[in-house]
Amino acid sequence: MQLKETLISLWNSLYSGNYQSLLFRFIDEIEFIGSGREQYWNTEEWYKDAVVYSLYVDLFNTDFTGLTKKLDYLQNLGVNCLWLLPILDSPMKDAGFDIRNYRKIRTELLGLPESSPEDEQRKVFREFLTEAHRRNIKVIFDIAINHTSEEHFWFREARKSEDNPYRDYYIWSKTTDLYKEARIIFYGLCESNWQKHGDWYFFHRFFEFQPDLNYKNPKVLIEMTRNFLFWLQEGVDGFRADAIPYLWKEEGTSCENLPQTHTVVKFFRAVLDYVRPNTLLLAEACQKPKEVVKYFGNGDECNAGYHFPLMPQMFKAVAAQSNKPVVETLSPQVTPPIPSSAQWFTFLRCHDELSLELVYVSEEDRKYIHDNYCLKPEWDFRLGQGISARLSELMERNPLKIALAYSIMLTLPGTPIIYYGDEYGKLNDTDYYKEMIKHTGKDDTRFLVRGKIDWEALGKELSNPDSFHTKVFTKIKTMVNTRNRFRCFGRGDIHWIDVYDDKGEKKNEVLAFIRTYDNEKLLIVHNLSDREVKADFSQYALPEIDLLGQKPNIGENGTLSLQNYGYFWISL
């Protein structure tokens, strides 16, 4: 179906055939923008072969000039895609997810004064993109599509009067009786989804300074699509669509994952595919896999989505010293098949907490993981619904456990994400946490996992081969660069292996599987336990050196000795 027919069909589904002239004018606009689109095309399904590195520009290295200076560091690490955590203009009450202007990058990230000309601001970002692309590093960034900042022009206008043209860009009510079934997402931080303003209330799913947009107003859909188009023309390679399940609201529902939300996403995707094919649209849908897969559609919604349930189950597997949490989570009963063009994105840590929402974690698992990993009271987030701590802290600053966690993530199906600083074992930053409480007025313990990188201090640490940070960095860098040599990790099949010792006893503490793609066949073995394990791999021809440069300890009878938290990547 051609662009026009596709958009008309989706539009009519949402708006019952109304506002046709508005749509047709917008289609003309899209076709004009896309007239020279060939120059922007990306490689098909490039995101399947990516290793993503997520960072806050200012916390990573001050601004885009500082980030550009560190591109060689990232390339050396093996990174080939940068996910820029919120960079758009914002009051920064929610780390930039409260967007004030969708067409403007925060000037402090550009190293420019607020009064600098727009052309100069755009030039700085384009120069960064050019340098990243020169190193074959893709660039994607966050765009919150469910809500804006209360300081956004639309909302400043909307709150002026009931008859303001922008009033209907948001959701207003005289009472708080609407949408009673919509859960409070920031439980423990917000008391309601409604915020009083004069004689009215406005609706918000997140903080009270982030009013939700009203997609029942077709102008909102068009304006948000225009925001995507603006950045496509600047040269970005994709977008992380923040809070995607909540776009459409209907009375009497949970206001999550509604059919109209999927129609909105299809609209976005159709426009992106027309103007710049192979632009990544990444779904941030904090849901069970059976719900997330719906955001892939038939290959006509998001290209990729986060596998939220896998993250806590990897942590549970290490704590329980059992492969069952991972194997069960990736079984077809929990993780349904996805379209051939789609991809899961996997992570150990993201910009938020080790999330334990009951949306995708059982009460039993939540308690177990919380008991095993929330090692300090101040790490508690949302009254037990998450743990705010860096990976190195969760793994008790043990380089072996940190590397094991990364080996699991890097070898399972999907595209892996490295959270900035985790590659060298960055620790919680209490000073930054306290500073941000003063700035925002919110005791948001997620600020513990942020904080700036002190590159001078890190340089000294990494020059010492015996330092904690060097031990972590060396292991992760080796794994990432090795992973980049094989397409089976991002594209291939997985075959689970039951492992036994030489007495025939099953060893559930060993997570082992084979990854295959074309002529690649790799055996991956992990010891999830805190003790040495001997496992029978006599049916395989094991090499003297594995792909990571490690020497497997193989007995005469084909028994492989795995040190505590040890792992091997073996080419068969």
C-alpha span between 397 and 148 (Å, rounded): 38
Instruction: Tell me, yes or no, whether 21 lies in a domain.
Output: no
Residue 37 falls inside a structural domain: no
Residue ending a domain, among 450, 483, 516, is 483
CATH of the domain at 154: 3.90.400.10
150 is catalytic: no
Above 90 in pLDDT, residue 40?
no
Domain count, the chain: 3
Contact 5, 266 (CB under 8 A): no
With a cut of 90, say whether residue 162 has pLDDT above it.
yes
Q: What is the pTM of this model?
A: 0.94
Cβ-proximal residues to 313 (8 Å cutoff; 6+ apart), any chain: 325, 326, 328, 329, 365
What is the pLDDT, as a whole number, of residue 37?
Answer: 58
In a domain, 2, yes or no: no
* 284/404 same-domain check: yes
Q: Are residue 83 and residue 138 in the same domain, yes or no?
A: yes
Residue 31 within a domain = no
Catalytic residue selected from 284, 422, 423, 546? 284
Tokens 């919680």 belong to: 428
Mean pLDDT of 199-225: 97
Task: Say whether both 435 and 331 belong to one domain.
Answer: yes
Classify residue 153: in a domain, yes or no.
Answer: yes
CB crowding 148-160: b at 16 or more within 10 Å, else e: bbbbbebbeebbe
Which pairing describes strands 553-554 and 559-562: parallel, antiparallel, or unpaired?
antiparallel
| Same domain, yes or no: 346 and 323 | yes
Which pLDDT belongs to residue 126? 96
Cβ contacts of 164 within 8 Å, gap of 6 or more: 157, 158
Return the closest-CA partner of residue 150 out of 94, 192, 228, 108: 94
Euclidean distance between CA atoms 524 and 497, whole angstroms: 10
Does residue 270 sit within a domain? yes
Catalytic annotation on 363? no
Q: What is the DSSP letter of 212?
A: B
Mean of pLDDT values over 370-380: 91
Which of these three, 483, 511, 543, is where a domain ends?
483
Cβ neighbours for 28, distance < 8 A, ≥ 6 positions apart: none
Q: Residue 356: what pLDDT? A: 78
Per-residue pLDDT reduced to its tens digit, 499-556: 998 888 999 999 999 999 999 999 999 999 999 999 999 999 899 999 999 999 998 8
Q: What are phi and psi of 116, to 5 degrees?
A: -65, 145
Instruction: Report whether 409 contacts 350 (CB < 8 A).
Output: no
Residue 379 belongs to some domain of the structure: yes
Q: Are residues 405 and 546 in the same domain?
A: no
CATH number at residue 129: 3.20.20.80
**pLDDT-derived band at 385, boundaries 50, 70, 90:** confident
Q: Which long-range contacts (CB under 8 A, 24 or more apart) does 498-506 make?
A: 499/525, 499/535, 499/536, 499/537, 500/535, 500/536, 501/533, 501/534, 501/535, 501/536, 501/559, 502/534, 502/536, 502/557, 502/559
The catalytic position among 49, 142, 242, 429 is: 242
pLDDT above 60 (res 19): yes
Considering the domain architecture, whether residues 463 and 552 belong to the same structural domain is answered as no
Statement to judge: residues 269 and 337 lie in one domain: yes
Residues in the chain: 572
Please report, for the domain that includes residue 550, its CATH number. Answer: 2.60.40.1180
The verdict on 113 and 261 lying in the same domain is yes
Task: Verify that 527 and 555 share a domain, yes or no.
Answer: yes
Task: Tell me the residue type at 524.
Answer: I
From residue 527, give the alpha-carbon distance in Å to each of 402, 560, 561: 13, 11, 10
pLDDT of residue 39: 57
User: Are residue 352 and residue 236 in the same domain, yes or no?
Assistant: yes
Last residue of a domain, one of 212, 232, 265: 212
First CA to last CA distance, the chain:
45
Residue 347 is assigned to a structural domain of this protein: yes
- CA dist 531 and 528 (Å) reads 9
Same domain, 134 and 253: yes
Reduced to 3 states (helix: H, G, I; strand: E, B; else coil), residue 418 is strand
Task: Say if residue 4's pLDDT is above 60.
Answer: yes
Instruction: Pick the closest to residue 539 from 486, 497, 493 (CA basis).
Output: 497
For residues 392 and 424, the answer to whether their CB atoms sit within 8 Å is no
CA 414 to chain centroid, in Å, comes to 12
The one-letter code for the residue type at 134 is R
pLDDT of the residue at 287: 82
Bridge partners, 280 (sequence order)? 238
In the three-class reduction of DSSP (H, G, I as helix; E, B as strand; rest coil), residue 416 is classed as strand
CB 318 within 8 A of CB 324: no
CA distance 273 to 79: 25
Q: What is the structure's pLDDT at 353?
A: 67
What is the domain extent for residue 323?
46-148+217-483
Residue 530: strand, helix, or coil: coil
Query: Do residues 224 and 165 share a domain?
Result: no
Of 316, 253, 312, 261, nearest to 284 by C-alpha is 261
